[in-house]
Amino acid sequence: MAIIPVAGVGTRLRPHTYTTPKVLLHVAGKPILAHILDDLPALGIREVVLIVGYMGDLVREYMDRHYRELRVHYVEQPERLGLGHAVSLAEPHAGDRPILIILGDTIFEADLRKVLSGSDHSIGVKEVEDPRRFGIVELDGTGKVVRLVEKPPHPTSNLAIAGVYYFTHGRPLFDALRDLTRRDIRTRGEFQLTDAMQMLVESGATLRTFPIDGWYDCGKTETLLETNRVLLDKRGCGAEVAGSVVRAPVVIADTAVIESCILGPHVSVAAGARLRNAVVRDSIINENAVIEDILLEGSVVGEQATVRGGFKRVSVGDSSEVRYP
Ligand code: UTP
């Protein structure tokens, strides 16, 4: 079973997360959550615990509409007390079963088949240049985790914890999480999953790591756009739209209406969006947005939002120069 915590507020993605939970924001043609869920059935995972909080009702509605084939349990995290706390709430559903934990804002590529057939708990890691922004793991010579630290000021390893974890059975993790909350061990005010895993290591448990090949952050507008570019380069395609010019890669929903535009590269247009007389590149246009008479790049336009420009009128004399920044 998979546990996906999605209770966070997504402050770094405001204003979009004022009205849409972060996991439902579109990137490369579908919501972040869909990128995660669509990979699960191929791994034989058909049961999911979603830890919901902020705008959880919208997440439920989305799941009811699109993922009826999955068995989904919802657990409310009433207070955002940290990732460790969020995961601990899944215990009644997960018990001692094998669990795959994936953070709700983490799109990744990894050979999970191999991980799920392994006999040790295992943490997805990626080498990074600046480990201070991440949780990190230190390994011994045999690849066993000997220490985990959340956002270390003086990192001793460049292996960042990427937000994907596998536990061969849930009980030891849930016991450690219970211990963490009982002893009120917080880092930066929150119950951290990293701290619970450190307690597991200290109690003698074996934790190993597995490589995350692609790691696509969706936490901020810039990284959401970067993820959009990278995923479209990998998976996107071209499109033919009569009366418009499309430069691949792009994803355009069937129900979007495009009229006299130049689109792409790296544009995602969601269902019901209407674009007219516009030049758009490197942008995410969400459902039912309206874009007219404008040049856009590096932009994220929310659902039902309207962005309207206009054509310039000039009377420019000979040898003059007019610039629009
Ligand atoms: P983040 O630390 O990115 O928090 O959580 P956030 O709220 O989503 O975003 P910011 O920092 O406010 O911009 C990583 C993942 O863990 C979940 C979040 O929903 C996100 O999927 N999470 C985090 C919880 O479910 N509960 C928590 O208490 C903390």
Residue 126: phi and psi, rounded to 5, are -140, 135
Is residue 46's pLDDT more than 90? yes
Tally Cβ neighbours within 10 Å of residue 108.
21
Query: Atom 18 of ligand 1 has which residue's CA nearest to it?
Result: 8
pLDDT(229) > 80? yes
CATH number for the domain including 177? 3.90.550.10
**What is the 207 CA–ligand 1 centroid distance (Å)?**
24
In 3D space, the residue among 275, 283, 282, 273 whose CA is nearest the CA of residue 304 turns out to be: 273
Q: Distance from the CA of 6 to the center of ligand 1, in angstroms?
A: 7
pLDDT value at residue 319: 94
Residue with CA closest to ligand 1 atom 5: 8
Q: Is 214 in the pocket of ligand 1 (CB under 6 A)?
A: no
Comparing CA positions, the residue from 296, 264, 266 lying closest to residue 278 is 296
Which pairing describes strands 135-139 and 121-127: parallel, antiparallel, or unpaired?
Answer: unpaired
Q: Quick check: is 228 in a domain? A: no
Instruction: For ligand 1, say whether the CB of 81 is within 6 Å of any of its atoms.
Output: yes
Q: Is the pLDDT of residue 325 over 80?
A: no
* AA identity, residue 106: T
Q: How far is the CA of 8 from the centre of ligand 1 (A)?
A: 4
* Cα(30)–Cα(26) distance, integer angstroms: 5
Cα separations in angstroms, 1 against 8, 67, 161:
21, 15, 20
| Token pair of 86 as six digits | 């969020």
The pLDDT confidence band at residue 151, using thresholds 50, 70 and 90, is confident
Residue range 121-150: mean pLDDT, rounded = 93
* Distance from C-alpha of 313 to C-alpha of 43, rounded to nearest angstrom: 58
DSSP state of 2: E
CATH number of the CATH domain containing 254:
2.160.10.10
What pLDDT score does 150 carry? 85
Task: Please write the tens of the pLDDT for every residue from 260-285.
Answer: 999 999 999 999 999 999 999 999 99
| Model confidence at 236: pLDDT above 80 | no
Closest to 32 in 3D by CA, of 57, 45, 13: 13
Residue 65 lies in a domain: yes
Q: What percent of the chain lies above the pLDDT cut of 70? A: 100
Q: Do residues 191 and 85 make contact, with C-beta atoms less than 8 angstroms apart?
A: yes
Q: Which atom of ligand 1 is nearest to the CA of 82?
A: 28
Ligand 1: nearest atom to the Cα of 13:
13
Q: Ligand 1 pocket test: which of 85, 88, 105 has the largest number of ligand atoms within 8 Å of its C-beta?
A: 105
CB atoms within 10 A of CB 203: 11
Is the C-beta atom of 250 inside 6 A of ligand 1? no
In a domain, 299, yes or no: yes
- Is there a single domain that holds both residue 192 and residue 268? no
Q: In this structure, is residue 319 part of a structural domain?
A: no
Q: Give yes or no for residue 112 having a pLDDT over 90.
A: yes
- 194, 135 contact by CB (below 8 A): yes
* DSSP secondary structure code for residue 153 in this structure: S
Q: Report how far ligand 1's centroid is from the alpha carbon of 2 (Å).
A: 17
Model confidence, pTM: 0.93
Are residues 199 and 104 part of one domain? yes
